[in-house]
Structure 1
Amino acid sequence: MTTEPLGRRERKNAQTRRALSEAAERLFLARGYDAVAVKDIADEVDVSVPTLFKHVPDGKPAVMFDDGVERRESLLGAVHDRPEGVSVIAALRDFMAGRGPFEQHPSKLFRRRTELIMGTPALREYSRKLWIRCEAPLAEAIAAELALPPSDVTARAAARYVLEIPQFVGDEPDPRTALHAIFDLLEHGLPAPPVKS
């Protein structure tokens, strides 16, 4: 499948959207989220506030994020393009292990950005929204890979549990260990209780 090249208007819109995102991240990191107004971000890019809202209808918490398409496509790719013999849950574990607070060797900027998101309730909640928007397509992908009906409740539950992990354990003292503990639970269930003597 070939992708049509973007027209001039689409390229200009994408460029403005990217500039807004970069400006918001720069300002939030420098001043803190609460000290930055939407007008500050618009001024930084030399656009009006209505223009900012045209590009980012969800407002201030959404400005530094993309539209979530890359996130959704990457998640679906992790399921559909996983190597032979790798389970769906193992593929999703590998995918999540490279995101946000679970990244093993983040750059300094990546770490600062992640700390900003995880430490700012509005940004953290918006990030969660982007994850949850992926629930229906991820559930369908899981169901398809396991030859289950598209609306299978277990596929839906697995998708929901996986997508809640960043919100649920992202601020644990060791998020990566917590991530693996949750995926161990998803793959193997709860451990058996100790045998009473």
Structure 2
Amino acid sequence: MAETAAKKQPAAPKEATGPTGPKEPGRRERKKAATRKALSDAALELFLERGFDKVTVAQIAERADTAVTTLFAHFPGGKEALILGDGSERAASLAAAVRERGAGESVLDALEEFFAGRGIFSEDQDHAYRKQVEFVTSTPKLRAYARQLWVSCEEPLAKVMAEEAGRPEGDLSLRVLARFVLEIPDLASLEPHPRRALETVFEHLRRGWPDV
């Protein structure tokens, strides 16, 4: 799925733990999460009703019964970030997919499995989620933003691949591979069968292009 560069968000605080595991989020965290959800839900409702370009941040804030300053405090990236976030979750999830892959599983297999469960590639989507995914892929600004978010993960993905392969950080071949992998969502979003396109791309990445 294809998703303007959002401003960097501060790193999330480490999760507090207690004797029996993670503590429940406090009242302040729950309030923040509720505000973010209200803003995201309001944005999606308005975008689907009127179209992305015909909705302003002021209208979104009004629909969510909050102030525009509050909207930007939670989503400094603006309208695109309300739907697609800031990219931090992607980088962390990609790294986890590589580091936590099963014994004997290759990095490419782990990354293919990671993408297969997300966005346009997932075969287990409810109607509301599928509608949101289709809206993003059919809206040029959102698709461009989505691509930028994925490509921004190139450095952390290449770094974790180098760690796992015992190769030096900054290895050009791994940077190239990371870039190819991160272009897949945007490229596949143009295909009639994204899941099939995902499988085709990873097949090529595994064997290269010997006849070219």
TM-score by length of 1: 0.89
Judge conservation of contact 1:135–1:159 (CA < 8 Å) in 2: yes
TM-fit CA distance, 1:133: 2.2
Matches within 5 A, 1:17-28: 17-28=36-47
Judge conservation of contact 1:20–1:64 (CA < 8 Å) in 2: no
How many residue pairs get matched?
A: 192
5+ residue gaps, structure 1, are none
Matched residue SS, 1:64: helix
Say whether residues 1:190 and 2:209 are aligned partners.
yes
Judge conservation of contact 2:147–2:186 (CA < 8 Å) in 1: yes
Judge conservation of contact 1:20–1:41 (CA < 8 Å) in 2: yes
CA distance in 1, matches of 2:32, 2:125: 30
Matches within 5 A, 1:63-82: 63-82=82-101
Deviates more, 1:161-170 or 1:32-41: 32-41
Judge conservation of contact 1:138–1:159 (CA < 8 Å) in 2: yes
Deviates more, 1:86-95 or 1:25-34: 25-34
2:53 corresponds to which residue?
34
2:179 corresponds to which residue?
160
Structure 2 counterpart of 1:92, from 108, 111, 124: 111
Listed one character per residue, the Cα deviations across residues 116-139 of structure 1 (whole Å, up to 9, x for unaligned) are: 000001111111122122211111
Matches within 5 A, 1:90-169: 90-169=109-188
Relative contact order, higher structure (CA 8 A, sep 6+): 2
TM-fit CA distance, 1:9: 4.1
TM-fit CA distance, 1:39: 1.2
Using the aligned pairs only, state the percent identity.
47
Judge conservation of contact 2:77–2:86 (CA < 8 Å) in 1: no
5+ residue gaps, structure 2, are 1-13, 17-22
Say whether residues 1:3 and 2:18 are aligned partners.
no
Aligned-residue Cα RMSD (Å) equals 1.8
Query: Which amino acid is the alignment partner of residue 68 of structure 1?
Result: G
Say whether residues 1:43 and 2:62 are aligned partners.
yes
TM-fit CA distance, 1:104: 2.0
TM-score by length of 2: 0.83
CA distance in 1, matches of 2:208, 2:148: 27
CA distance in 2, matches of 1:16, 1:30: 21
Query: Which amino acid is the alignment partner of residue 45 of structure 2?
Result: R
Matched residue SS, 1:63: helix
CA distance in 1, matches of 2:38, 2:90: 19
